[in-house]
Structure 1
Amino acid sequence: MVDNAPELVRTPRLILRKVTPDDLQAVLEIHGDPKANQFRPSRARSADESRELLDSWLCDWAEHGIGYWAVQVVATGETIGFGGLRHTVRDGEQVLNLYYRFRPRSWGQGYAPEMATAAMSWATRTLPHQPVEILTTTDNTPSRRVAEKLGFTIVRSLQRDGFTDVYMRKVQSAAHPRPAHRDNGIREPAPRN
């Protein structure tokens, strides 16, 4: 369990808050929207898949004290997306997966980098030795562009489900080497951005 859980974070334009069961309608709308999921190999999620997704996010918060946020615009209160950090294990290494998915009408306004910067700031302060990765596909140029703005670079690629996944990681400082891996039982794959 993570101490100092980031259940509510404010940025200049966004409120990032722990997801609740009341977020189901927004999850259905965003994760069921074909345009919002155009780069996801299996495309938009069904209503049942969206419910399962929200349930998994709620479990992350309950079991690990960290998970994805509902992203709301301060000025309107509208939920425009979901994102944040989630514990996972990739290739036997404990990492934080940085995820973001937004309503298409909110694209191009800098919300994903703003949310991701807040998540990275929290991770740097609270879990400084925990690597942070972004999993996306080679054709998801918008997601890769956000990751590159944040200082992430591609560390490997992998063929899966007929698509090429790219794993991006923030370059680590020599002053903060990675500690030895500790398995907590959380398994990949994490959602692609």
Structure 2
Amino acid sequence: MEHFRTSRLTAERLHEGHLADLVALHLDPDVSRYLGGVRSPEATKTYLTVNMAHWDRHGFGLWVVRTQTGEFAGRAGIRQAVVDDKEEVEIAYTFKRVLWGQGLASEITNALTNLGLLQLELPSLVGVVSVENGASRRVLEKSNFTLERSTIYHGEEVVIYRSPRPTSIATHLRC
């Protein structure tokens, strides 16, 4: 799925033209606080290359997310991750600081959960969240992800939330 929409957001498959927006996002220390810290433009270019290749390998990945007016809002998606030596599919989202607190993370989480579990028929999705990131933990909890365990991921103490494929879920995507 190259594009999708929610009630307030549009998502476009990640491509090279998104580099400048991603660099600006990753240079914000508040945004990058729970993402391993600020990334240099070079590190963001590598990040972009790796995540575009993910699409080619798996048929899904990250999207750039925009507001209804077309303003860059952030990035979100589902991607393969190895957690505790086990292959998982992780839900991920990051928004510009000026858009925090508006419910956009919950909106995109619900859309990505629907996409991953119902459309792609994945057995489950995980959220990997820094123990200290209360806002993202609340987003996952409101989206019916269940706290599963604590672990160390990329050298950081995190909690793992999981959402198994439900028998039914409301559809929030409009292709």
TM-score > 0.5 by shorter chain: yes
Indicate which of 52, 55, 63 corresponds to 2:49: 55
Contact 2:128–2:160 (CA<8 Å) still a contact in 1?
yes
Contact 2:128–2:158 (CA<8 Å) still a contact in 1?
yes
Higher alpha-carbon deviation: 97-106 or 161-170? 161-170
Structure 2 CA distance for partners of 1:168 and 1:43, relative to 1, 3 Å = same
Compute the displacement of 1:160 (Å). Answer: 5.1
Contact 1:10–1:16 (CA<8 Å) still a contact in 2?
yes
Give the TM-score of the pair, scaled to structure 1: 0.80
The answer for the alignment partner of 1:21 in structure 2 is 16
* Percent of paired sites with the same residue: 30
The answer for the alignment partner of 2:123 in structure 1 is 130
Structure 2 CA distance for partners of 1:139 and 1:20, relative to 1, 3 Å = same
Structure 2 CA distance for partners of 1:16 and 1:160, relative to 1, 3 Å = closer
The answer for the alignment partner of 1:145 in structure 2 is 138
Contact 1:14–1:71 (CA<8 Å) still a contact in 2?
yes
CA distance in 2, matches of 1:22, 1:81: 14
Note the residue ranges of structure 1 that are not aligned, 5 or more in a row: 1-5, 177-193
CA distance in 2, matches of 1:61, 1:171: 22
CA distance in 1, matches of 2:34, 2:115: 28
Report the structure, 1 or 2, having the larger helix content.
2
Contact 2:83–2:153 (CA<8 Å) still a contact in 1?
no
Higher alpha-carbon deviation: 95-104 or 153-162? 153-162
Compute the displacement of 1:149 (Å). Answer: 0.7
The answer for the alignment partner of 2:90 in structure 1 is 97
Q: What root-mean-square deviation, in Å, do the aligned CA atoms of Structure 1 and Structure 2 show?
A: 2.0
CA distance in 2, matches of 1:161, 1:123: 24
After superposing on structure 2, the runs of 4+ consecutive aligned residues of structure 1 that deviate more than 4 Å are: none
SS of 1:57's partner is helix
CA distance in 1, matches of 2:100, 2:140: 15
The answer for the alignment partner of 1:10 in structure 2 is 5
Give the TM-score of the pair, scaled to structure 2: 0.87
CA distance in 2, matches of 1:53, 1:129: 24
CA distance in 2, matches of 1:133, 1:157: 12
Compute the displacement of 1:83 (Å). Answer: 0.6
Indicate which of 20, 28, 39 corresponds to 1:33: 28
CA distance in 2, matches of 1:161, 1:53: 15
Compute the displacement of 1:93 (Å). Answer: 3.8
Structure 2 CA distance for partners of 1:102 and 1:126, relative to 1, 3 Å = same
Tell me the alpha carbon deviations over residues 123-156 of structure 1, each in whole angstroms, 9 at most, x when there is no partner. 1222334220011111001111111111112211
Contact 1:87–1:97 (CA<8 Å) still a contact in 2?
yes
The answer for the alignment partner of 2:111 in structure 1 is 118
The one-letter amino acid paired with 1:11 is: T
The one-letter amino acid paired with 1:54 is: L
